[in-house]
Structure 1
Amino acid sequence: MDISRIDLNLLATLKVLLEERNVTHAARRLHISQPGMSAQLARLRTLFGDPLLLPAESGRGMTPTALAQSLALPLSAALRELEQVVSVQPSFAPEQDARTFSLAITDDAQVSVGLELVDQLQAIAPHRLRFNLQQPQVERIAAQLESGEVDLLIAADRLIPASMKVRTLIEDRLVMAQRPGHPRGTGALDLESYCELEHLLVSSAPGSPRGYTDEYLAGVQRQRRVVLSLTQLALVPHILRRGDLVCTLPRVHFARLDAGLELYELPFPAPGFRLQMAWHPRSHFDPAGVWLRELIQAVMRGEDAAG
């Protein structure tokens, strides 16, 4: 018998019929009409090729056939197992469960989130939970999130695939940094002087990298002088302190780097910066995923998530 062609509701009906041995009583238990119950009994008889229940000699109720009697126990056991399957609620206990989490996290996100997150991860059952932090592969990240190869992406909003669930971790504004004693002085910036300065650009984009600032300036037919680009945000303070380059980044990055640099407001309405975490909708209700996302938010709030 091909089980894929069986209406499982019929098996639940058969169980009740065998227990009640009365069509009226069975219909009442299942909250259906007596004609509806009779129709289901007819379908069961066709399915099993057996009358299953016959009118009792006493005229009251029904008597199961030999086949029906043989089905009673295994049918009841099978339905109990199905009930357990559909009633199972997944759970996750970080202090007990073993799990490997893969996080795709950009370089700037590692500066903003990474160190505090690593501290928390080491405090929570380090021998049973494993964490793999990697740079996002921009061209593959959507597929990696969908397949489960990557559990969570932490990146600027421009790198988040449109189909993902998203939560914002940081909202900030861009500022320009220079070393103390920079030859341009300490005056407020204007657009002309800003574009003429020699800029350091931090970008993980392949090819000819462009930042938020370059995109804005292109929109107003201006261009700054980018003379050096790199992917490692942590190198920025060292490079700026050794020369006359300037760098435009979210204010929070300079604060996290403890750079000892001078910060200046930009002379134009620069686009805002948002650091977000993103995950595939398929894992939205996964208890382990929920735990990880709440842990990261606690880290961003400066809370002790392990305590």
Structure 2
Amino acid sequence: MRGIDLNLLRSLDVLIEEANVTHAAARLGVTQPGLSAQLARLRAIFDDPLLVPSEKGRGMLPTSRALELREPLHAALKDLEAVVRTPAQFDPRTDARTFAIATTDNAVVVLGLPLIERLRQTAGRGIRLSFSSTGTDVAAELERGEINLLIGSDRMVPPAMKARKLLEESYVMIQRKGHPRGRAPLDLDAYCKLEHVLVSTSGGSFHGFIDEQLEKLGYRRSVALSVHQFVMAPMIVASTDFVSTLPRRFAARFADHRLDLFELPFSAQGFNLFAAWHPRAHADPALMWLRNQLIEIARE
């Protein structure tokens, strides 16, 4: 580690990301000649050009060595940042913190809305929430610190993450009031013949968790429409003859004068909703406080 200081590593992280000395210098708050000198030192330390001029004449391209360094270097700097910035104590009324939460709109409706209301009573204006959909590699996003918390089902939690079960969920079917089939209890044949709206958070699939369970029983339902957000299903069902099978707590939020809820005609397996986080953040007082808020909401 001789000859290397934290500023050099921070500069390398930004240089690889920006692939442009001018842009990286502006972001780091240093002069372009100063950053060029740092790049020369880095090239000597790693015995590699790290960044080479682009053939198109604009910007630079990272070498293979730079690409190998990018992820572990960024993660290491995030770890150091957590050590330096995380206070020993956390006061939600006076401290400033933005919590980035990756989840589905189902969890935003069921847990996020109560969390927002709870924070209005227990936290100051320095506490902010950012909800986003889960990416293709949520484990890497947690490791890089791009998100602080994942709220998702059993299937969504990466094996290496810390996790806490928040609640158990089951399913119900919704249909519009005045639906031609009437309000009689469902039987399995009638359920399968209805035209269903499927929520596929991964996008575009016409086969989901409920379909997997029906196949084990020797049945197959008619899925007429696939949408990528839970909130779209109640709106579509309310104005069509389609039906949809949704998590019970979510569906209950939309059970107004437009929609009726029905028990499923078979013993459908539900799912558990978890909060998950990177082991690195397990002792973070701010994140511990946020997790406790969600635990209390789930209990209520």
Sort the TM-score into its range (normalised by shorter chain). Answer: 0.5 to 0.7
Q: Distance in 2 between matches of 1:217 and 1:152?
A: 33
For residues 164-175 of structure 1, what are the structure 2 equivalents within 5 Å? 164-175=161-172
* Alignment counterpart, residue 266 of structure 1, candidates 264, 267, 271: 264
Could you tell me which amino acid in structure 1 is paired with residue 260 of structure 2?
E
* Alignment counterpart, residue 113 of structure 2, candidates 97, 112, 115: 115
Helix, strand or coil at the partner of 1:233: coil
Contact 2:255 2:261 in 1 (8 A): no
| Counterparts in 2 of 1:122 and 1:97: CA distance versus 1, 3 Å | same
Q: Distance in 2 between matches of 1:255 and 1:206?
A: 24
Give the equivalent residue in structure 1 for 2:150.
153
Give the equivalent residue in structure 1 for 2:190.
193
1:254 aligns with 2:251: yes
Give the equivalent residue in structure 1 for 2:234.
237
Q: Distance in 2 between matches of 1:256 and 1:231?
A: 19
Give the % identical residues: 46
CA RMSD of aligned residues (A): 2.4
Contact 1:237 1:259 in 2 (8 A): no
Alpha-carbon distance, 1:142 to partner: 0.8
Could you tell me which amino acid in structure 2 is paired with residue 151 of structure 1?
N
Q: Distance in 1 between matches of 2:235 and 2:94?
A: 43
Provide TM-score, normalisation by structure 2: 0.66
Alpha-carbon distance, 1:125 to partner: 4.3
Alpha-carbon distance, 1:202 to partner: 1.5
Q: Which runs of 5+ in 2 are unaligned?
A: 3-82
| Counterparts in 2 of 1:210 and 1:89: CA distance versus 1, 3 Å | same
| Counterparts in 2 of 1:271 and 1:219: CA distance versus 1, 3 Å | same
Q: Distance in 2 between matches of 1:216 and 1:160?
A: 21
Q: Which of structures 1 and 2 has the bigger CA Rg?
A: 1
Count of matched residue positions in the alignment of Structure 1 and Structure 2: 217
Could you tell me which amino acid in structure 1 is paired with residue 247 of structure 2?
P
Q: Distance in 2 between matches of 1:167 and 1:156?
A: 11
For residues 72-91 of structure 1, what are the structure 2 equivalents within 5 Å? 90-91=88-89
For residues 4-43 of structure 1, what are the structure 2 equivalents within 5 Å? none
Q: Distance in 2 between matches of 1:89 and 1:136?
A: 28
Give the equivalent residue in structure 1 for 2:92.
94
